Amino acid sequence: MRLVMLALIATGLVAQALAGEPAEVSERARKIHDAGLLFDGHNDLPYRLRKAGDMAFSKIDISKRLSDGHTDIPRLREGGVKAQFWSVYVPSEQKNPARTVTEQIDLVYRMIEKYPDVFELAISADDVERIAKAGKIASLIGIEGGVAIENDLAQLRAFATLGARYMTLTHNDNLDWADAATDAPAHDGLTPFGERVVKEMNRLGMLVDISHVSPATMADALRVSKAPVIASHSNAYAIAAHVRNVPDNILKGVKQNGGVVMINFSSGFVHPGLAKTIMTARKELRATHPDAESFGKAMEAWYKEHKELPHGTISDVADHIDHIKNLIGIDHIGLGADYDGVTSLPVGLDDVSTYPRLTDELLRRGYSESDIHKILGGNVLRAFRKAGEIAKTLQKTTAPEVDQPAKEVDKH
């Protein structure tokens, strides 16, 4: 028993074992955390508000601590969040996807207008630093799902003009120009049009996001992109073998590219055993539900039938960070928790107020203050700044491409 307790102490989980919660954050961890720039890569609050039918902020006041969900202003402050990519998500099957994303971009603007003492729009790395220094939360826009551009580079440019600074190339389903991680391969990565999308994102200063895409698409994006790429909310496949996570060979490519993998807190992508269970279920259901709609419904039913699935732990999350650090170095790790976009979170990482607990865990594992500050946001800020610098150069030398009609978009 004594050995068990010592092991729990070593991983910071004594309080979790005794009372269902991790130990209190140490004073040293809190100081280091507060001194850093916590710049999270992915939060789905805009889509949560859209689903709740509160596009006008008339029902939900996020200035107050809410009894549900993962995000509100009091908890953002408690968690030390200083910069946030707000995800403007569109399901792959959504009709009028460009309009859906535009409405969510508008929601982010109105959130900033509603709470001007808390949020301010950021479109550059300099903006992020200035806004955070002023005590506000730098608010950036990230599009989740390349279906949003409707096979049209003009639409991509319009989103960039509205302030979007990354785009996840796919969501769960393949597009005409890119393969997704959770769909059957159709193009072996990016098509020629998909490569044009990546090049135009480079020219616009939009980070190319390889979360949700297949390994072949990841490899193609790394090959084509002149700017650092990000995985805005993904983990290490070697630790938890879910297709949403990043394989080691791709991680090595991220290092060469100067990019950043931002760690997702979803239990299914964090917990090794749960990832294996989910992938087994996906394989079995895919065999009997070949079309996307019926498969999606079958997976939804499976989750409802398996409500007692295990949760991850803070230690599990740190294991992913350890693996990436050991494989490609400290300069390529960030955080993209996916709050308000997932249903199962690691014990102790329940909402946006809990980030300091991860800082405490990293300190216990021997990470330095400098290392932690890089993970919290220094690495993604560096990648974002570099993408902006490359965009300025490309805009001087490269003109926007004129699109073919959408029906002529290539496939192979």
Amino acid at 283: K
Q: Which residue of the set 209, 338, 351, 360 is catalytic?
A: 338
Q: Mark whether 220 is an active-site residue.
A: no
Q: What angle do CA 16, 22, 24 make, to 5 degrees?
A: 135
Q: Mark whether 289 is an active-site residue.
A: no
Alpha-helical segments (H) within 87-191: 97-114, 125-133, 153-161
Q: Which residue of the set 42, 187, 271, 320 is catalytic?
A: 42
Q: What is the sign of the dihedral through the CA atoms of 236, 250, 155 and 84?
A: positive
Q: Which residue of the set 33, 70, 171, 323 is catalytic?
A: 171
Contact call for residues 350 and 70 (beta carbons, < 8 A): yes
Q: Which residue of the set 120, 144, 176, 209 is catalytic?
A: 144
Segment holding 4, helix H or strand E = helix 2-11
Contact call for residues 322 and 365 (beta carbons, < 8 A): yes
Write 291-296 long-range contacts (CB < 8 A, 24+).
292/92, 292/93, 292/173, 292/183, 293/93, 296/172
Burial class of 285 by CB neighbour count within 10 A (0 to 12, 13 to 18, 19+): middle
Residue 40's nearest CA partner among 158, 166, 147 is 166
- The DSSP annotation for 195-243 comes to HHHHHHHHHHTPEEE-TTB-HHHHHHHHHH-SS--EETT--BTTTS--T
> Which residues share a beta bridge with 335?
263
Q: What is the sign of the dihedral through the CA atoms of 182, 188, 190 and 191?
A: negative
Q: How many residues does the chain have?
A: 412
Instruction: Provide Rg for the chain, Cα atoms.
Output: 20
CA distances for 289 relative to 183, 268, 283, 286, 294, angstroms = 12, 21, 10, 5, 6
Contacts of residue 135, Cβ cutoff 8 Å, sequence gap at least 6: none
Q: Give the CA dihedral 343, 347, 351, 355, nearest 10 degrees.
A: -140
Q: Mark whether 212 is an active-site residue.
A: yes
Contact call for residues 171 and 151 (beta carbons, < 8 A): no
Q: Which residue of the set 187, 212, 242, 320 is catalytic?
A: 212
Segment holding 301, helix H or strand E = helix 292-305
Q: Mark whether 300 is an active-site residue.
A: no
Q: Which residue of the set 187, 233, 332, 373 is catalytic?
A: 233
Residue 234's nearest CA partner among 270, 281, 285, 280 is 270
Q: Mark whether 150 is an active-site residue.
A: no
Active site residue ranges: 42, 44, 144, 171, 212, 233, 338
